[in-house]
Structure 1
């Protein structure tokens, strides 16, 4: 799961930052990876189970 450094984010934006992060991370994926991520999300119930942004935020790994 991505971990935001809230020290770098204004208090006014700390609630929306994880949403934007999840959406940004999903837009950085290759088409086939995003398709697989969406398929996995739909398999577990899609938006009835977890919002798309949260699924992305919790399941995309960023490795350095």
Structure 2
């Protein structure tokens, strides 16, 4: 059973995340010849205050 774990910065709409999970599932299914019902996708949203770019939080950078 393939498990895909994705971490993204907070701020995307639930619809965008749903689309991401669907597209990842499709790609993994096609790439591995795995049934879609066996594929698990976990999306974790990380707060901008906990995501650093060059040592500075994304929140301070205005990302």
Smaller-chain TM-score range? Answer: 0.3 to 0.5
Higher strand share: 2
Q: Which has the larger Rg?
A: 2
Higher relative contact order (CA 8 A, sep 6+): 1
TM-score by length of 2: 0.33
TM-score (structure 1 length as normaliser): 0.33
Answer 1 or 2: which has greater helix percent: 1
